[in-house]
Amino acid sequence: MSYLRHWKLSRSPFLVGTSGRGVFAGGTIEEALARCEVLVSQEKRLRLVIGPSGVGKTTFLKHFCRTRLSRSSRENLAIIDLRCADGDSVPSRILQGLAPGLNSPESRQGGWSKIDDYLFSEFAIGHRTVLMLDNLHDVSDDAFHAISQLWSMKNRWSMLLSLDDESMVNLPRWILDQCELRIDLPNWDLGQTADYFDFALNQVGSDENLFNGQAITRIQELSEGIPRKIAQISELALVAGSVRKQQIVTSELIDQVCDEFTVSVGARIPSIWDNERLNAG
């Protein structure tokens, strides 16, 4: 792409691969990882991962899975996307996440039977199963009822639920009563954002001064510390800077970009962070 040639980049620091290597895991992310480790190592049953939209909950779950699977072959971790799920689709999605090779159930009850059999067989051979139910802010009440059926299964496994903080008020009471710990992924502060820029630029062998300090500070202000928006604004700035033949990204350029793309930032630009493309290299 021409804008990459202008900045002497072989690839973008903010739109790079999906292999999962080199994930930025500083600050609050490290703390959240440690809390998730306790869920597995101490065989806790239920925990919540909470954070605003765009903070990177899905990417965090994937990073946690890779971290655990690299250490043990006796753990079965599955991320199940329940975005817009209803009660009938919950068991089939869970089954697909656990064992993609199994045939889809013909009925909801048939799905629960297959899931129960699978969890029991994993437990019987000494495997610990962790179900990570993602995007619960978009599910129906019937879907939550279906999840309660899953919870009632007595085989030894753990559940990690991911949703945005605004949806906490809609959670069924039984989830709040059974939850042993809330794991927060908050917006980044300026220090964490600056660390991310150092990390991302180093990953592609770029000059660490490609974005000056004022530009990073302005991106932090405009994005409100949301990683997805940080990546979106930064990518747009690289494109706009190449058109203007600039040699460095400044705060003035950031303001120009956001004035021109006010509607697009956070809405029409691809969801870089949640698609795990923010900072894997």
The residue count for the chain: 281
**AA letter at 207:** D
Q: What is the pLDDT of residue 22?
A: 61
What is the residue range of 61's domain?
45-179
Q: Is residue 271 in a domain?
A: no
The per-residue pLDDT string of the chain (281 residues; one tens digit each, 9 = 90 and over) reads 688 999 999 888 987 544 445 678 777 788 888 888 887 777 788 999 999 988 989 988 988 888 887 776 788 899 999 998 988 899 999 998 988 877 666 677 888 888 988 898 988 998 889 999 999 987 888 999 999 988 988 767 889 999 998 888 889 999 999 998 889 999 999 999 999 999 999 888 887 789 999 999 999 999 999 999 999 999 999 999 999 999 999 999 999 998 876 544 444 443 333 334 433 33
Task: Encode pLDDT of 64-73 as tens digits.
Answer: 888 887 776 7
Task: Verify that 137 and 241 share a domain, yes or no.
Answer: no
Q: Are residues 209 and 232 in the same domain?
A: yes
**Are residue 119 and residue 200 in the same domain, yes or no?**
no
Residues 83 and 144 in one domain: yes
Tokens of 269: 């630009």
- Domain edge (last residue) among 179, 206, 232: 179
Is residue 150 within 8 Å of residue 178, measured between CB atoms?
Answer: no
Q: Are residues 143 and 53 in the same domain?
A: yes
pTM confidence score:
0.81
| Number of domains the chain contains | 2
Query: How far apart (Å, rounded) are the C-alpha atoms in residues 234 and 7?
Result: 13
To 5 degrees, how large is the angle CA 8–CA 12–CA 13? Answer: 105
181 with 35: CB under 8 angstroms? Answer: yes
What's residue 260's pLDDT? Answer: 77
Same domain, 50 and 131: yes
First and final CA of the chain: distance in angstroms? 18
DSSP assignment string, the chain: -HHHHHTT-SS-SSS--SS-TT----THHHHHHHHHHHHHHTT--EEEEE--TTS-HHHHHHHHHHHHHTT-SSEEEEEEE-TT--TTHHHHHHHHHH-TTSPPPSSHHHHHHHHHHHHHHHHHTTPEEEEEEE-GGG--HHHHHHHHHHHT--SSEEEEEEE-GGGGGGS-HHHHHH--EEEE-PPP-HHHHHHHHHHHHHHTT--TTSB-HHHHHHHHHHHTT-HHHHHHHHHHHHHHHHHTT-SSB-HHHHHHHHHHTTTTTTTTS--TTTTT-SS--
CATH number at residue 208: 1.10.8
Residues 120 and 160 in one domain: yes
